[in-house]
Amino acid sequence: MIIETLIPTAASIGGGFFTGLLLGYFVKKVIKILMFISGGIIGLLLYLQQQQIISLNVERLEGSSIFILSTLSSSFDKVTQIGDMSSLGIPIAASIAAGFTVALAKS
């Protein structure tokens, strides 16, 4: 009797951990790629400005970056309100969070 309830719980914990591990690995890679592209664009703009090929309006660039960051932060707030993981149940939500954390912490 207890085995009948133990097997689905163990499967949800293991599957959730694996899902969180894959999700964390994917998020980590995407962030690295976006940071590389952003750094390349900024480096190229600074080089072109130093060679006096282009002229950068720093105030406008700063305003654009603040707008982009505020838009991203508000979209993350909306995602967290919609995707409430507490409806999944404690074992699977905890295992997904543990897998996600392991994947992000791993070098």
Q: Outline where DSSP puts E strands in 11-94.
A: none
Q: Which residue has the tokens 């592209």?
A: 37
Alpha-carbon gap, residue 13 to 94, rounded angstroms: 8
Segments in 1-107 forming alpha helices (H): 2-50, 58-82, 90-105
> Domain tally for the chain?
1
Residue 19: the pLDDT is 83
Per-residue pLDDT of the chain (107 residues; tens, 9 = 90+): 466 666 666 666 677 788 888 888 998 999 999 999 989 998 998 899 999 999 988 889 889 889 988 888 887 766 555 555 555 566 777 777 888 888 888 75
Give me the pLDDT at residue 102, please.
Answer: 85
Question: Which residue type sits at 62?
Answer: E
pLDDT at 9: 65
Q: What pLDDT, on a 0 to 100 scale, did the predictor assign at position 5? A: 67
pTM: 0.65
28: domain range? 2-105
- The three-class DSSP label of residue 99 is helix
